[in-house]
Amino acid sequence: MTDDRDPSPAPEVSVQQFTDELLDAATAGAYDNVAEALAVLAGADSARAPAGVVTELVGRCAAAVRAHHGEDAGTLFTVVLEDERGDLAEVERLPPGPRSAMRALLAALNHDGPSRDIQVELATSGTPADVLGVLTHLLVWIAELSVPSAAVFPPLSCFTD
């Protein structure tokens, strides 16, 4: 290696750009492109790429929640889980990955970056199928949150295997 050579890796698509393209494809109904992108992420050799996209998606979900709710420094966000019948449900009913993604979203909403990062790491530490479940949940949540409604906060879907 010479002193003139740039030691940094070749430029790649940024996490933000990848996430933008993933959301654009999902919004446009280009589900083959979405499936291909999710397969690439789920099959990544390390959890770094999926974790970056999950962090970006969690941030976008948090921004969408704030758009519905408004930003108030004193607000503390919590969740109430209900099953398909509307009965209260235990958070442990959720698969570990989506449960961690939900906790990452709550941490992001409550301005707790270290907890968000821990939960993102947990959410992306499973099998490729587990990571796919996390990404799918986040995409569904973004879609649900993008429906404008000033009167009612939309419920977020969680599904088990």
Residue 35 lies in a domain: yes
pTM of structure: 0.83
Give the model's pLDDT for residue 112: 94
Give the model's pLDDT for residue 98: 92
Residue 154 lies in a domain: no
Number of domains in the chain: 1
Residue 34 lies in a domain: yes
What is the extent of the structural domain holding 115?
Answer: 15-71+85-145
Residue 158 lies in a domain: no
Alpha helices in the chain (DSSP H): 15-28, 31-42, 48-69, 96-109, 113-123, 128-145
Long-range contacts of 25-28 (CB under 8 A, 24+ apart): 26/139, 26/142, 26/143, 27/143
pLDDT tens for 32-58 read 999 999 988 888 887 789 999 999 999
The candidate with the shortest Cα–Cα distance to 97, out of 59, 124, 77, is 124
Supply the DSSP symbol for 74: T
Ranges of the chain whose pLDDT falls below 50: 1-11
Residue 26 lies in a domain: yes
Residue 40 lies in a domain: yes
Residue 124 lies in a domain: yes
Residue 155 lies in a domain: no
Q: Under a CB-based contact definition with an 8 Å cutoff, are residues 112 and 31 in contact?
A: no
Give the model's pLDDT for residue 146: 83
Give the model's pLDDT for residue 73: 65
